[in-house]
C-alpha cells in the first residue's frame, strides 16, 4: 500500500515575502546547468577571481588545522586577526585616529558584515541611499532589515558615480544611511579622494551612517582606490566593510569584517552570536596569514591585478570596436558594464534580452543590469583566462553587430 504525500504549501513569512534570490548567483547556476547538459558555455557571470588562493595562505590554514585550530573562537573573531585588521585600518586612517581590535567584527564573508551592519543600524521607517547601479544584495539586505533602499542614479558622464547633489536630491528626513562601494560592482568605477570626501562630508552634516564596502579596494588599475578611512574627517558614523574574498582570491573561505565605532561592533557581535557565531576557525587562520604576511600578499595581489588589467584592456579593445556600445571605463574591480539599449527590442529590459540572446546564440553567460537596478545594461566579469575573455568579447561583439537595428 502506498501513501500519497501532499505537496507542501509553504507560505513565506513577512520577513522574506518580497525577497528576490541573488540574480548573479542565478546566472552562474544556469550556466553550470547548460554546461552539464553538454553545451560549451563561457561564463562571465561569476563575481570571483579565477585564481587559486596563494599557496602560503593555503599552507598556513593546513598547518593551523593540524595544530588544533578546530574549535570555536570568540564570536567577533580571534584576537590576532582582529588586531591585524585594526592595524591595517589604523594605517589607512594615517594615525588621525586609532582603530582598536574592539572595533572589528569578523564574519562569514563581507556579505554577512553588510547584513550585520544594516540589520543593526536600520529598521522600519528608515531610508538608506544606495547608488544605482549597485550590488544586488544591498537592496535585499536593507529590505530584510525592513528599511527602504532608495536608489540614487549615478551620473552617466561620471562613470555612473553619484555626488552630493544627487544624494541630497534623493534624501528625505527619513534618510539614515548611505551605502558606498568603490571600486564599484558592477561598473568598476572608482571614487577619487575628493569625490569620496565630498560625499562623506555631506553624510556627516546630515547625520547619516555611511557603510563603505571596500571589498575591491586592492583591485585598482589607474591609482590606488581610496578607503573611506583615509578620507573621512569624522569616523563616528562610519562602517568600513572589507574581506579577503576578492583581493586574495579567497571567495570560498568566507571571511569578511566590519570596522566600526565600538558600540556598534558590540551590537553586531551580539547579533552574530545568535546567528552564525564565529566565522570558520580555519578560515580565520588563513585570513591572518593573508593580512600579516604582507610582502607575500602584496606580490600575489600585484600578479593578479596585472592579469586583470591585461584582460580588461583586451576586452575593451574588442568591444571598443562595436558602434553605439557604451561602456564604463573600469578603474577597479573586474567588471565591465555595457549599455546595450541600442541593440534590444525590449525597451523595459534591454539587458535581460541581450543576456538571454548571448546565452542562447553565443554560449556566453553574463549578468543582466536589472540585477543592479539598471536594466539597460549588462555586466561582464573578466575574472576568467585571457583567451576566454577575448573570445567572449568577440562573441558579444558579433551578437551586437548582427543585432544592430
Ligand atoms: N560586496 C560586493 C560589492 C560584492 O561584489 C561582493 C561579492 N560579489 C560582496 C560584497 C560579498 O563578498 P564576500 O564573499 O566577502 O561575502
Give the pLDDT score at 240.
Answer: 98
Q: For residue 107, list its beta bridge partners.
A: 256
pLDDT tens readout for residues 176-216: 999 999 999 999 999 999 999 999 999 999 999 999 999 99
Report how far ligand 1's centroid is from the alpha carbon of 118 (Å): 15
Q: Is 188 a pocket residue for ligand 1 (Cβ < 6 Å)?
A: no
Q: Is 244 a pocket residue for ligand 1 (Cβ < 6 Å)?
A: no
Give the pLDDT score at 32.
Answer: 84
Residue 114 has pLDDT above 50, yes or no: yes
Report d(CA 249, CA 12) in Å as an integer.
35
Report d(CA 324, CA 119) in Å as an integer.
42
Q: Is 377 a pocket residue for ligand 1 (Cβ < 6 Å)?
A: no
pLDDT tens readout for residues 300-355: 999 999 999 999 999 999 999 999 999 999 999 999 999 999 999 978 899 999 99
Report d(CA 250, CA 360) in Å as an integer.
31
Give the pLDDT score at 2.
Answer: 63
Peptide linkage before 183 cis (omega within 30 of 0): yes
Report how far ligand 1's centroid is from the alpha carbon of 169 (Å): 28
pLDDT band at 1 (very low <50, low <70, confident <90, very high): low
pLDDT tens readout for residues 343-401: 999 788 999 999 999 998 999 999 999 999 999 999 999 999 999 999 999 999 999 98
Q: Is 213 a pocket residue for ligand 1 (Cβ < 6 Å)?
A: yes
Give 111's contacts (C-beta < 8 A, 6+ positions apart). 137, 141, 256
Residue 403 has pLDDT above 80, yes or no: no
Give the pLDDT score at 346.
Answer: 77
Amino acid at each position: 500500500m502506498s501513501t500519497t504525500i501532499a505537496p507542501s504549501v509553504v507560505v513565506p513569512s513577512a520577513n522574506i515575502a518580497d525577497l528576490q534570490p541573488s540574480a548573479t548567483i542565478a546566472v552562474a547556476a544556469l550556466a553550470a546547468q547548460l554546461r552539464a547538459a553538454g553545451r560549451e558555455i563561457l561564463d562571465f557571470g561569476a563575481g570571483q577571481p579565477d585564481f587559486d588562493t596563494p599557496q602560503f595562505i593555503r599552507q598556513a590554514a593546513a598547518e593551523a588545522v593540524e595544530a588544533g585550530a578546530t574549535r570555536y573562537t570568540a564570536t567577533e573573531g580571534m584576537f590576532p586577526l582582529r588586531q591585524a585588521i585594526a592595524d591595517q585600518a589604523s594605517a589607512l586612517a594615517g594615525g588621525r585616529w586609532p582603530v582598536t581590535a574592539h572595533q572589528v567584527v569578523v564574519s562569514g564573508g563581507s556579505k554577512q558584515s553588510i547584513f550585520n551592519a544594516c540589520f543593526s543600524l536600520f529598521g522600519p521607517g528608515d531610508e538608506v541611499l544606495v547608488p544605482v547601479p549597485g550590488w544586488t544584495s544591498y537592496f535585499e539586505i536593507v529590505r530584510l532589515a525592513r528599511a527602504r533602499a532608495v536608489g540614487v542614479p549615478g551620473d552617466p558622464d561620471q562613470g555612473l558615480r553619484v555626488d552630493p547633489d544627487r544624494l541630497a536630491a534623493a534624501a528625505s528626513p527619513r534618510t539614515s544611511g548611505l551605502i558606498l562601494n568603490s571600486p564599484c560592482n558592477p561598473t568598476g568605477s572608482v571614487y577619487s579622494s575628493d569625490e569620496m570626501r565630498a560625499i562623506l562630508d555631506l553624510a556627516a552634516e546630515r547625520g547619516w551612517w555611511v557603510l563603505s564596502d571596500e571589498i575591491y579596494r586592492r583591485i585598482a588599475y589607474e591609482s590606488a582606490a581610496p578607503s573611506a578611512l583615509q578620507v573621512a574627517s569624522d569616523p563616528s558614523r562610519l562602517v568600513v566593510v572589507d574581506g579577503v574574498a576578492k583581493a586574495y582570491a579567497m571567495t570560498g573561505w568566507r571571511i569578511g569584517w566590519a570596522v566600526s565605532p565600538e558600540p556598534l561592533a558590540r551590537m553586531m557581535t551580539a547579533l552574530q552570536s545568535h546567528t552564525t557565531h564565529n566565522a570558520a576557525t580555519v578560515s580565520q587562520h588563513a585570513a591572518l596569514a593573508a593580512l600579516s604576511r604582507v610582502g607575500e600578499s602584496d606580490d600575489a595581489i600585484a600578479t593578479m591585478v596585472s592579469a586583470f588589467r591585461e584582460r580588461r584592456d583586451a576586452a575593451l579593445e574588442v568591444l571598443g570596436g562595436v558602434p553605439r556600445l557604451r561602456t564604463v571605463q573600469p578603474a577597479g574591480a573586474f567588471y565591465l558594464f555595457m549599455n546595450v539599449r541600442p541593440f534590444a527590442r525590449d525597451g523595459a529590459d534591454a539587458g535581460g534580452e541581450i543576456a538571454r540572446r548571448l546565452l542562447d546564440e553565443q554560449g556566453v553567460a553574463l549578468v543582466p543590469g536589472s540585477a543592479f537596478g539598471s536594466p539597460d545594461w549588462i555586466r561582464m566579469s573578466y575574472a576568467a583566462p585571457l583567451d576566454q575573455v577575448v573570445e567572449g568579447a568577440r562573441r558579444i561583439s558579433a551578437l551586437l553587430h548582427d543585432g544592430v537595428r
